């Protein structure tokens, strides 16, 4: 009788524990669903390319985990418990396989792409990615500092100038278009603008206001094609580039390499400046589908934009030279010659390399207080000094020689 009572108590205890386990398991699943849905990941899973895998893997894994919990509570036979554990592991393997492929693709290679977090370019921020001089300036600006503005693709350059030349209370803004920067210059909201050569319309507007633009060419950039430093290919013709990105040349051996290897041709987002320049250079040649990456947009919508360049042994990409500066200076990529012309500093400066852009420092002549005018001249002298040229080179630009 006493043994029977003990058995009944054990069963009741296990029933209570089972109910508690089911409630806890259900709460965990509900909480997981809420978190995933709040972060927009549920829509990403439903609309993503691996929906069936996620359903199979997560659903089966949860069932296996639930069965394992019941086996442990009720002390099921060892073989049943092991089967439940094995089911949990096997169902979770597809999920692990998918995610590991994504993580390896992103994390295994150095990348070149758009920097979406612009706080990384903020002068004097603790964790910025601005260029630092090997030897700090002995003397920084004094008095009232000029307000510096400019176009986005030169942001890192002039932000690095601010950090190395100005005091920490220096003022700076960034523009996505030259028009906005010049607008602030005319509105007396900026004193210096870094941009390409000001168009005639800007010079005409200055003249209509009785002002004169002072545009100083300080550096040049170039649109370049690059590959992994170990890739044996050093030169491509423009026609070969069209064949690669059109999907007609699929192996490096087809474009002059002694080694076989499937070409991984990275592109840039459709409406980006880089892609616009590429289309102009290649006469809008038909393009194959690019490698993509998965991103979660607003509302949990999954988008698959062109993937950032990943520096694998068979990769090829393109951008401004300045955007590839970090990997270039580390010797991890090499710039390709196009039709036998290398994008060397010498060829960029003398115009032999055809795809060159210019970086100007633009101000209004005699339109500033004396102390600001003095510091603008200080800025100009720094840019043409050895340390200024060092800064430009570290930003991937080719500094102009002293006149």
Q: How far apart are the C-alpha atoms of 185 and 192, rounded to whole Å?
A: 7
How does residue 94 score in pLDDT terms, banded at 50, 70 and 90? low
- Residue 292's φ and ψ, nearest 5 degrees, are -120, 165
CB distance 231 to 186 below 8 Å: no
Reduced to 3 states (helix: H, G, I; strand: E, B; else coil), residue 281 is helix
pLDDT at 44 over 70: no
Provide mean pLDDT across the span 165-184.
Answer: 72
pLDDT at 294: 66
Reduced to 3 states (helix: H, G, I; strand: E, B; else coil), residue 318 is strand
pLDDT at 104: 44
Q: How far apart are the C-alpha atoms of 288 and 243, rounded to whole Å?
A: 10
pLDDT at 354: 95
What are the pLDDT digits (tens) for 237-269? Answer: 999 999 999 999 999 999 988 888 899 999 998
Reduced to 3 states (helix: H, G, I; strand: E, B; else coil), residue 94 is helix
Residues in Cβ contact with 89 at an 8 Å cutoff, skipping those fewer than 6 apart = 64
In 98-236, beta strands by DSSP E: 111-112, 148-150, 192-195, 213-228, 235-236
**Residue corresponding to tokens 């289309």:** 279
pLDDT at 343 over 60: yes
- What DSSP character marks residue 257? -
- Residue 177's φ and ψ, nearest 5 degrees, are -140, 150
- How is residue 123 written in tokens? 């002068």
Instruction: Work out whether the CA dihedral 367, 371, 373, 375 comes out positive or negative.
Output: negative
- How is residue 62 written in tokens? 């949860």
How does residue 307 score in pLDDT terms, banded at 50, 70 and 90? confident
Provide mean pLDDT across the span 26-45.
Answer: 65
- The helix (H) or strand (E) run that includes residue 317 is strand 315-320
pLDDT at 383: 95
Write down all domains in the chain, each with its CATH number in brackets. 2-107 (no CATH), 109-403 (3.40.190.290)
- The helix (H) or strand (E) run that includes residue 78 is helix 78-107
Q: How far apart are the C-alpha atoms of 379 and 164, rounded to whole Å?
A: 11
Name the residue with higher pLDDT: 26 or 79: 26
Reduced to 3 states (helix: H, G, I; strand: E, B; else coil), residue 234 is coil
User: In percent, how much of the chain has pLDDT > 90?
Assistant: 39
CB distance 372 to 144 below 8 Å: yes
Query: Within 10 Å of residue 312's Cβ, how many Cβ atoms?
Result: 17
Provide mean pLDDT across the span 377-382.
Answer: 94
pLDDT at 172: 64
């Amino acid at each position: 009788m006493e043994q029977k009572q003990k058995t009944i108590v054990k069963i009741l205890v296990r029933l209570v524990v089972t109910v508690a386990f089911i409630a806890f398991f259900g709460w965990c699943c509900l909480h997981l669903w809420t978190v995933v849905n709040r972060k927009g990941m549920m829509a990403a899973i439903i609309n993503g390319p691996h929906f069936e895998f996620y359903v199979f893997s997560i659903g089966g894994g949860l069932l296996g985990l639930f069965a394992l919990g019941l086996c442990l509570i009720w002390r099921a036979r060892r073989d049943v418990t092991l089967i439940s554990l094995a089911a949990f592991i096997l169902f979770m393997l597809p999920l692990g396989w998918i995610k590991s492929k994504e993580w390896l693709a992103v994390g295994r290679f150095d990348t070149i792409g758009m920097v979406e977090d612009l706080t990384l370019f903020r002068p004097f921020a603790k964790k910025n990615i601005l260029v630092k001089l090997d030897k700090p300036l002995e003397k920084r600006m004094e008095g009232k500092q000029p307000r510096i503005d400019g176009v986005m693709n030169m942001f890192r350059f002039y932000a690095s100038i601010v950090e190395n030349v100005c005091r920490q209370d220096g003022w700076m803004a960034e523009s996505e278009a030259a028009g906005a920067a010049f607008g602030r210059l005319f509105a007396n909201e900026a004193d210096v603008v870094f941009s390409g050569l000001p168009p005639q319309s800007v010079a005409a507007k200055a003249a209509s206001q009785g002002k004169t633009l002072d545009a100083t060419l300080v550096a040049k950039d170039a649109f370049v094609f690059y590959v992994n430093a170990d890739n044996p290919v050093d030169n491509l013709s423009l026609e070969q580039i069209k064949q690669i990105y059109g999907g007609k040349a699929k192996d490096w051996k087809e474009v002059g390499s002694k080694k076989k290897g499937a070409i991984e041709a990275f592109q840039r987002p459709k409406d980006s400046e880089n892609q616009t320049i590429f289309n102009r250079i290649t006469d809008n040649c038909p393009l194959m589908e690019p490698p993509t990456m998965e991103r979660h947009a607003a509302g949990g919508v999954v988008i698959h934009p062109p993937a950032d360049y990943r520096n694998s042994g068979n990769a090829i990409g393109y951008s401004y030279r300045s955007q590839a500066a970090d990997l270039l200076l580390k010797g991890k990529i090499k710039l390709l010659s196009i039709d036998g012309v290398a994008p060397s500093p010498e060829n960029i400066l003398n115009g032999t390399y055809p795809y060159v852009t210019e970086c100007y420092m633009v101000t209004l002549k005699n339109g500033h207080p004396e102390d600001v005018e003095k510091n603008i001249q200080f800025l100009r002298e720094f840019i043409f000094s050895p340390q200024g040229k060092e800064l430009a080179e570290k930003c991937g630009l080719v500094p102009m020689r002293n006149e």
